[in-house]
Chain A
Amino acid sequence: MKWTLVVSNGLDNVLTSLAEGRDVYALERLESGNYKLKQSSAWLPEQHTLGAFRSIEPLKALFFPAREFIGTWQKLTIRKPMRERIVFGVKNCDLSSLAIYDHVFLQGVCPDPYYEEAREKTILVSTDCSSQLDVCFCPAVGEQPYAEKGFDINIAETPAGYVIESGTERGAKLLQSAQQYLKEAGPELLEVFEQQRARRYGELMEHSEAHGLKPGMDLRVAIEGSFESELWKDFAKDCVECGACNFICCTCHCFLLADGVNADGMPARTKLWDACLYNGFARTAGGGNPRHLRAERLRNRFDKKFSFFPQVLGRYACDGCGRCTEACIANIDIRDVLRRAVDESDALHAHTGDH
């Protein structure tokens, strides 16, 4: 069932009720117009917003921190149980990316207990995007600017009122607890809601197509087909292998187990984000390196996202959030790379007649 508010300005009551007794992560609008995810102990109506589009930083950091202390030698740190927390204003690109982390940290050889706990203790409240950033291109990777799964609660704002729904049993129970502020959404509101979603998708699709990327393009074929292309060398001329695209990416999951000593001089281990753009990423002890060249490392990043993940998980490891484009100090736009890969693989297929 979908809900709406009993009184039109009652959203803060609902959010305050949901936040009660939990650590809160909510968006704050910065002067630049961007949104930043900040921690607090309650929903703060004056400061917080559900946001029109995604935050600057990826959601992954809440589950897979940039720096996570693992333990000191012979003394694994048993962490205090994590407090339950609620995240407001998650957008679909970030929400969808969690499928990548679930695959890596939960469904593999050995689940990561810290990640598992973070997932269990985090309530995700998503919202439809009401606007987009210039760098957004989610329709091109099969996503859309609203969440259809993966959320506990989704909130969509329309001119006719809010549409609120649960996506999990936990979300349904939470909405029960805010029942006094909610009533069933009527058919007219739901029609406005569906129309708004369709319109928003259309707008983003046009935006993506304006950059040469149409929904449904086979990006796996494009990336695999352009493996030998000069495009990697061309883009690598600008790349300074800073790794910003890796770190800011909402799906990049690679990490390093870094050993050192803590303040007491005890050997200690930390799990850190790592970047496949770095020269030493795949290097072995003897000095062998399967990717000596920056162009090879740049290509590897796309190969991982658009060839490896489709093979192992049936989806791209890219949700079209465009953060890599924003973060790149060499102004490499992921859409330009993908478009050229599409063009060149098409050209290659046309040339060989193998389509």
Chain B
Amino acid sequence: MNPTLYMPIPATIERITAETPDIKTYTIRPDEPMPFKAGQFVELAVPGIGEAPFTPSSSPRISDHMEITIMRTGRVTDWLDTMKVGDEVGVRGPMGRAYPIDDFHGREILIVGGGCGVGPLRSLLLALVEDLDSYARIIVRYGARTPDSIVFRDAQMHGWNQGGALDVMLTVDEGNSGWDGHVGMITSIMTEDYLDCHADDGVAVMCGPPVMMKYGTETLLERGYRPENIYLSLERNMSCGVGQCGHCRLGRYYVCKDGPVFSYDEIQNNPRLWDD
């Protein structure tokens, strides 16, 4: 018996950090610790309003609280945007399949993020850097629309390269007067000029808006990454989170229980993989 199957446990908002004009990171403390693995998601509920799926952006080593980085984009996130420190939310989870970190040992890992999709990737990165010696190399490529919409901007530009141990590069679709970094789509910093990688046996992990994932995957395949080594965090309307309600079906899978992390070879034959 699991009476909490469809009901969240209460959680308190402990901190709210504005990342960009429309993205905030919420630190929540559930009434009971909620251990999760990087890439798994939770259903975050605004009492009486609704709930939506989000992947935590904080380290999976920490279970008494979690950070969730959220873009204001719909009904639940509009409500979240009005909430304050001390307010109560609900959380169910963790749900779904995580990044297969054990399979990453000894290999080169390319992390490709777009926009708010860097949230789950930050959680992965925080897990990886605690054990840096276990991986051949870690590369991060991130794209945002503008310099102002870069999520975790200070960390990405200064902290994430771990004093040069990681190869981190950012790009923006449109620059401004204060930006002296790269300008161009995410795929423009995945070319040979900007990305030195071992695609044949390397692992690529990508999360971002569907259109970015679509062209990003094409670029990874062109660079020689194998479909089984490309891991994508898919976005569908995950509602119950346990493979019952039917909303997130993708071919023979439910994204909530069989994903949200899929290797590209598992899903490449789906005719409507990238929603539009």
Contacts and interface: CB of A to CB of B under 8 A. Distances in A.
A253 B252 contact: no
A273 to B, nearest CB: 10
Interface stretch (A103-111, A130-138, A164-172, A175-183): A103-111
A136 B247 CA distance: 29
B48 A109 contact: no
Interface string B40-77: 00000111111110000000000000000000011111
B54 to A, nearest CB: 10
Given A74-B10, A311-B252, A257 B3 contact: no
Interface stretch (A24-32, A44-52, A202-210, A277-285): A277-285
A110 B73 contact: no
B245 A255 contact: yes
B245 A70 contact: no
Interface stretch (B133-141, B146-154, B235-243): B235-243
Interface in B57-101: 73-77, 90, 95
Interface string A256-275: 11011100001111010010
Q: Contact size class for A?
A: 35 or more
Given A259-B51, A269-B7, A288-B275, A282 B247 contact: yes
A49 to B, nearest CB: 34
A261 B247 contact: no
A281 B244 contact: no
B10 to A, nearest CB: 6
A143 B76 CA distance: 44
A274 B245 CA distance: 8
Interface residues of B, number: 46
Nearest to A70: B6
Contacts, number: 115
Contacts of A292: 276
B237 A284 contact: yes
Contacts of B7: 70-71, 76, 269
Which of B5, B6, B244 lies at the interface centre, i.e. has the most chain A CB atoms within 10 A of its CB?
A: B244
A288 B74 contact: no
Nearest to A116: B1
Contacts of B184: none
B93 to A, nearest CB: 11
B271 interface: yes
A33 interface: no
A260 B48 contact: yes
B37 interface: no
B73 A276 contact: no
Contacts of B243: 104, 108-109
Interface in B180-203: none
Contacts of B236: 282, 284, 290
A101 to B, nearest CB: 10
A289 interface: yes
A109 B3 CA distance: 14
Contact of B49 (A259, A304, A311): A259
B49 A256 contact: no
B235 A259 contact: no
A121 to B, nearest CB: 14
A264 to B, nearest CB: 12
Nearest to A281: B247
Given A110-B5, A284-B275, 13 more contacts: A73-B10, A254-B247, A257-B51, A259-B46, A276-B246, A283-B237, A285-B52, A288-B275, A288-B276, A290-B236, A307-B252, A308-B251, A312-B252
24 contacts: A76-B3, A104-B243, A108-B242, A108-B244, A111-B2, A112-B5, A113-B2, A113-B5, A254-B245, A255-B244, A257-B245, A259-B48, A259-B49, A267-B47, A268-B48, A274-B247, A281-B247, A282-B249, A285-B52, A285-B73, A285-B74, A285-B76, A288-B210, A288-B276
Interface of B: 1-7, 10, 45-52, 73-77, 90, 95, 209-210, 235-237, 239-240, 242-252, 257, 271-272, 275-276
Interface of A: 70-71, 73-74, 76, 78, 104-105, 108-113, 116, 227, 253-257, 259-261, 266-269, 271, 274, 276, 281-286, 288-292, 296, 304, 307-308, 311-312
